[in-house]
Amino acid sequence: MKTLQRDSLNERKDSSMKTLQHDNLIAGEWKKGASYSPNINPSNLADVVAEYTQGDAGDVDAAVAAATAAFPAWATGSIQARSDALDKIGTEILARRDELGTLLSREEGKTKPEGIGEVTRAGQIFKFFAGECLRLSGELLPSVRPGISVEITREPVGVVGLITPWNFPMAIPAWKSAPALAFGNCVILKPADIVPASAWALAEIISRSGIPAGVFNLVMGRGSVIGDAMVRHAGVHAISFTGSVGVGQRIAEACVQGHKKVQLEMGGKNPQVVLDDADLGKAVELSVQSAFYATGQRCTAASRLIVTEGIYSKFIDAVERRMAKLTVGDALAQGTDIGPVSSQSQLEQDLSYIEIGQREGATLAVGGERLTRATEGFFMAPALFSESSASMRINREEIFGPVASVIRVKDYDEALATANDTAFGLSAGIATTSLKHATHFKRHCQAGMVMVNLPTAGVDYHVPFGGRKGSSYGPREQGRYAQEFFTTVKTAYTDPN
Ligand code: NAP
């Protein structure tokens, strides 16, 4: 079987533009799309990371055909070969974490330590699923009919389409691709249009891992073109999507029409509860981290700080003092705590919510203005609203930027009710020294992930990730729970006589 080759020819400099151009990976070949689009550094709009090709529906057809052809051999092939390939991918990602983390920060805008951390996570995920290739198990049961046995086994789903957002340009492609490949599926990855560099780098590493041609395909381009064509393609058996609620809902509807398996990870409006008995220093640090690190652009970021009245004033004062120490600047500069917002449209959305919050009557305690720095970029001062109420739009709609609001509540019961008063249910945190309240919160908050005295963002890679209500739909991602989505169950009966 043909294996993939490193793209040395297609990774080239266009002499007139002096910019590297990168192509799609289809059937083990690097293929040009209809055009190229520049990937711009949000810390410095004059810096073009590289140009990435824009595919069309024909590229999706070609990728599906390649994946379909590669599937039978990959699905039934050696699990040792799969494990070795995933381990090799993980090893290379980890060995290149500084370089890839720098690339990620340059294209997305999270700080360099955050970029390196994300790349490290991607490498660890591939290593984890290298092991999972060998651990997929089934069940053997006696039948209710004497003498007959029943086997329950898991098989790959087939050709899977992976559609990923811009805020984790390498970790999310990794946490979808690694289990998909580990369990014998063939993949078509469509990364977010504004951050193709990390996904392209991942595809390039995968292309040299020994995985056969056609098993992993990368098709870059616009969601309304590539994503839509994948979702509607009869040859795609499952779609794993991470992104906004609106797009996710439309994808789910199309998948139901097309009888496709679908998994959606979407938005959040995550609460961070702070009770009177909390360790103030700890509560402040984890709230500031949850709300503003990675420029607040994490689906697990805390955007509603729900604080009981006994600690409310002390908490606001201390958060303001902590925020005054945050350095906003170039993602790659040493000492930057908060990088730029990742795009013009996201910055406009963030700034519009600053106006909305003020119009609604919340107090803008800190920040919320656009900042200028040495280079032109999408810099914004992290914003804290105080005296906000649970019914305000700033507390009901996902802003997805460095904006958090504080809601004053009477006691724990009101805090829990306020935390649950949302259409979302991804992550929820509580800062308290009360075992009673921590235990009750873990059981009764309506979220997929709960943190006690820890930031709402920051999760392990070997355990399930996902939420409830408007945040998620379908089986969990990551850890061994990933097999729920990336395999299908078969029940086989045998009468040996
Ligand atoms: P988005 O606009 O929904 O885009 C997500 C992906 O869907 C992108 O690759 C996008 O392509 C593609 N897409 C757009 N329209 C499509 C269509 N009609 N058919 C198929 N695909 C389409 O989300 P985003 O702005 O990139 O990401 C931010 C959102 O992701 C936030 O809501 C955040 O909470 C959520 N998120 C959730 C999690 C989680 O695990 N719950 C994790 C991270 C982020 P283009 O880039 O070309 O538009």
Q: Does residue 193 sit in the same domain as residue 338?
A: no
How many Å apart are CA 310 and CA 280, to the nearest integer? Answer: 12
The CATH number of the domain where 188 resides is what? 3.40.605.10
Q: Does residue 257 sit in the same domain as residue 170?
A: yes
For 469, the token pair is: 């209500």
DSSP strand pairing (19-22 vs 44-54):
parallel
How many Å apart are CA 355 and CA 36, to the nearest integer? Answer: 36
In a domain, 347, yes or no: yes
Ligand 1 mean position to 297 CA, how many Å?
Answer: 12
Q: What is the pLDDT of residue 18?
A: 62
Q: Does residue 213 sit in the same domain as residue 98?
A: yes
Q: Does residue 98 sit in the same domain as residue 117?
A: yes
Q: Does residue 163 sit in the same domain as residue 240?
A: yes
Q: Does residue 284 sit in the same domain as residue 378?
A: yes
- Could you give the percent of the chain with pLDDT greater than 90? 96
User: What is the CB < 6 Å shell around ligand 1?
Assistant: 163-168, 190, 192-193, 222-224, 227-228, 231, 242-244, 247, 250-251, 265-268, 299, 398, 400, 426, 471
In a domain, 1, yes or no: no
- Residue 265 falls in the annotated catalytic set: yes
Question: What pTM does this model have?
Answer: 0.96
Range of the domain at 386: 270-461
b/e sequence 32-46, b meaning 16+ C-beta within 10 Å: ebeebbebbbbbbee
b/e sequence 286-315, b meaning 16+ C-beta within 10 Å: bbbbbbbbbbbbbbbbbbbbbbbeebbeeb
In a domain, 221, yes or no: yes
In a domain, 6, yes or no: no
In a domain, 466, yes or no: no
Cα 129 to Cα 84, 136, 181, 184, 203: the distances in Å are 10, 10, 9, 12, 17
How many Å apart are CA 167 and CA 296, to the nearest integer? Answer: 10
Spatial neighbors of 53 by CB under 8 A, at least 6 apart, are: 21, 22, 23, 24, 31, 32, 33, 34, 35, 36, 37, 220, 221
In a domain, 467, yes or no: no
Q: Does residue 154 sit in the same domain as residue 281?
A: no
pLDDT tens sequence for the chain (497 residues): 223 332 333 343 444 446 799 999 999 999 999 999 999 999 999 999 999 999 999 999 999 999 999 999 999 999 999 999 999 999 999 999 999 999 999 999 999 999 999 999 999 999 999 999 999 999 999 999 999 999 999 999 999 999 999 999 999 999 999 999 999 999 999 999 999 999 999 999 999 999 999 999 999 999 999 999 999 999 999 999 999 999 999 999 999 999 999 999 999 999 999 999 999 999 999 999 999 999 999 999 999 999 999 999 999 999 999 999 999 999 999 999 999 999 999 999 999 999 999 999 999 999 999 999 999 999 999 999 999 999 999 999 999 999 999 999 999 999 999 999 999 999 999 999 999 999 999 999 999 999 999 999 999 999 999 999 999 999 999 999 999 999 999 999 999 98
Tokens 């990728």, residue located? 63
Ligand 1 mean position to 225 CA, how many Å?
Answer: 14
Tokens 């989505």, residue located? 485
Count of structural domains within the chain: 2
Q: Does residue 132 sit in the same domain as residue 247?
A: yes
- Residue 299 falls in the annotated catalytic set: yes
Determine which residue's CA is closest to atom 10 belonging to ligand 1: 223
- Please write the tens of the pLDDT for every residue from 119-134: 999 999 999 999 999 9
450: β partners: 428
Q: Does residue 415 sit in the same domain as residue 297?
A: yes
In a domain, 400, yes or no: yes
Determine which residue's CA is closest to atom 45 belonging to ligand 1: 223
Q: What is the pLDDT of residue 19?
A: 79
Q: Does residue 276 sit in the same domain as residue 261?
A: no
For 376, the token pair is: 């032109």
Catalytic hit among 51, 299, 445, 477: 299
Ligand 1 mean position to 242 CA, how many Å?
Answer: 6
Atom of ligand 1 nearest to the CA of 265: 41
Question: What phi-psi label fits residue 5: left (phi over 0), alpha (psi between -120 and 50 degrees) or beta?
Answer: beta
Q: Does residue 226 sit in the same domain as residue 287?
A: no
238: β partners: 160, 261
3-state SS, the chain, equals: CCECCCCCCCCEEECCCCEEEECEEECCEEECCCEEEEEEECCEEEEEEEEEEECCHHHHHHHHHHHHHHHHHHHHCCHHHHHHHHHHHHHHHHHCHHHHHHHHHHHHCCCHHHHHHHHHHHHHHHHHHHHHCCCCCCEEEECCCCCCEEEEEEEECCEEEEECCCCCCCHHHHHHHHHHHHCCCEEEEECCCCCHHHHHHHHHHHHCCCCECCCEEECCCCHHHHHHHHHHCCCCCEEEEECCHHHHHHHHHHHHHCCCEEEEECCCCEEEEECCCCCHHHHHHHHHHHHHHHHHCCCCCEEEEEEECCCHHHHHHHHHHHHHCCCECCCCCCCCCECCCCCHHHHHHHHHHHHHHHHHCCEEEECCCECCCCCCCCCECCEEEEEECCCCHHHCCCCCCCEEEEEEECCHHHHHHHHHCCCCCCEEEEECCCHHHHHHHHHHCCCCEEEECCCCCCCCCCCCECCCHHHEECCCECHHHHHHHHEEEEEEEECCC
Q: Does residue 455 sit in the same domain as residue 482?
A: no
Atom of ligand 1 nearest to the CA of 163: 9
In a domain, 5, yes or no: no
The answer to whether residues 118 and 104 touch, using CB atoms and an 8 Å cutoff, is yes
The CATH number of the domain where 278 resides is what? 3.40.309.10
Tokens 């820890």, residue located? 454
Q: What is the pLDDT of residue 2?
A: 27
